[in-house]
Structure 1
Amino acid sequence: MSKRTSAKHKIDRRMGENIWGRPKSPVNKREYGPGQHGQRRKGKVSDFGIQLRAKQKLKGYYGDVTEKQFRACYHEASRMKGDTGQNLIGLLEQRLDMIVYRAKFAPTIFAARQLVSHGHIRVDGVKCNIASRRVKAGQEISLGNKAQEMALVLEAQGLSERDIPEYVAPDGTAKVTFTRVPTLDEVPYPVKMEPNLVVEFYSR
């Protein structure tokens, strides 16, 4: 399992954006980057720098998946028919931990990954603890009995800062169905994501 060991909100400050849309993000108070040189004037960013930033932002949003996993996801997207950037987003949104997050079973993507890895999530009624598992259209994702009473889950379901997207259909409070693979325009990112720049970064 991939685990982020450094401070999560440093991604926000490094990017200068609240990439998860959380009210506790330090960007809401300090828009400059972290560290003693965070406030210094920034020079012009190269094309490579812009592409790298787009990749770091997208990778960070999905729970900071490992570079190996992210690159493999890109290569798979490039082999599929259609637009590679759209395909990449579709593959990332099919991850089990992301659907748990989209269903508002967890307040953050990191909590969603933990919920899956601790065995609290069922896929078509069968327990699954692999956060990176790809969910197919029509499959049901549900909470285990114990998880339905967890404070973390109840907190997430009461969040007003985000809604459940159309491609995740709720059935009560403990079950959703992943109806289809979304397009970039349908994904409720709090900030602008640019998968086309990620494609340019990897295809150099």
Structure 2
Amino acid sequence: MSKRQNSKYKLDRRMGENIWGRPKSPVNKREYGPGQHGQRRKGKMSDFGIQLRAKQKLKGYYGDVTEKQFQKYYTQAARMKGDTSQNLIGILERRLDMIVYRAKWAPTIFAARQLVNHGHIRVNGDKCNIPSRLVKPGDTLALRAKAKEMALVLEAQGLAEREIPEYVQVNEDGTANYMRVPTLDEVPYPVRMEPNLVVEFYSR
């Protein structure tokens, strides 16, 4: 399991962007970086620095995926037919914790990962506690009956800042279906993501 080592909002401040689109993000009030040197002027960033920043932002958005796992996703995307950057986004959006987040069953990606870890999610009727499991188009997800009444889930369903994307369908019976692999344009990122720079970073 990937364990978050730092405060999640430090990433927002380091990037200078509210990458999850959350109203509580401190970057809404302080756009400079964290720490005593956060307000100093930054020089021009090198190409490597720009690529690294794009990788850190994308990796952080998906719940601070480990470097080993993120590199594995890149390798998998590079072997697939088509555009590697689109393939990478498609793989990341297939993660079980991300589908739970997209279905608005959790207020944050970190909470979605916790829901999966604690065994509250069923995939095609079977219990699954692996957040990194790649869901296939057509798979059906369901919350345990007990989980439907959790404050965390009820909070997520009432969030106004997020909408359920077209490639995830939430049904009247409370289940959700992963319909298809999305393109980059379909993924509802609150900020601009640049997976092409991530590809450049790894293909150096």
Classify the TM-score, shorter chain: over 0.9
Which runs of no fewer than 5 residues in structure 1 stay unpaired?
Answer: none
Residue type of the alignment partner of 2:107: P
Q: Which residue of 2 aligns with 1:66?
A: 66
CA distance in 1, matches of 2:172, 2:29: 37
Q: Which residue of 2 aligns with 1:99?
A: 99
CA deviation vs aligned residue, 1:47-105 (integer Å, no higher than 9, x gap): 00000000000000000000000000000000000000000000000000000000000
Q: CA deviation at 1:175?
A: 1.1
CA distance in 1, matches of 2:172, 2:50: 42
What stretches of structure 1 move > 2 A for 4+ residues in a row? none
Q: CA deviation at 1:156?
A: 0.2
Percent of pairs identical after alignment? 79
Q: CA deviation at 1:11?
A: 0.2
Residue type of the alignment partner of 2:54: A
CA distance in 1, matches of 2:69, 2:6: 19
CA distance in 1, matches of 2:5, 2:104: 24
Q: Which residue of 1 aligns with 2:83?
A: 83
Residue type of the alignment partner of 1:92: L
CA distance in 1, matches of 2:22, 2:172: 25
CA distance in 2, matches of 1:166, 1:49: 34
CA distance in 1, matches of 2:12, 2:165: 23
1:19 aligns with 2:19: yes
Q: Which residue of 1 aligns with 2:111?
A: 111
Residue type of the alignment partner of 2:72: A
1:156 aligns with 2:139: no
Q: Which residue of 1 aligns with 2:7?
A: 7
Q: Which residue of 2 aligns with 1:188?
A: 188
Residue type of the alignment partner of 2:83: D
Q: CA deviation at 1:173?
A: 6.3
**What root-mean-square deviation, in Å, do the aligned CA atoms of Structure 1 and Structure 2 show?**
0.6
Residue type of the alignment partner of 1:186: E
Q: CA deviation at 1:174?
A: 2.5
CA distance in 2, matches of 1:112, 1:184: 21
Q: Which residue of 1 aligns with 2:138?
A: 138
Q: TM-score, length-normalised on structure 2?
A: 0.99
CA distance in 2, matches of 1:118, 1:7: 21
Which runs of no fewer than 5 residues in structure 2 stay unpaired?
Answer: none
- The count of residues paired between Structure 1 and Structure 2 equals 204
Q: TM-score, length-normalised on structure 1?
A: 0.99
Residue type of the alignment partner of 1:192: R
CA distance in 2, matches of 1:163, 1:43: 37
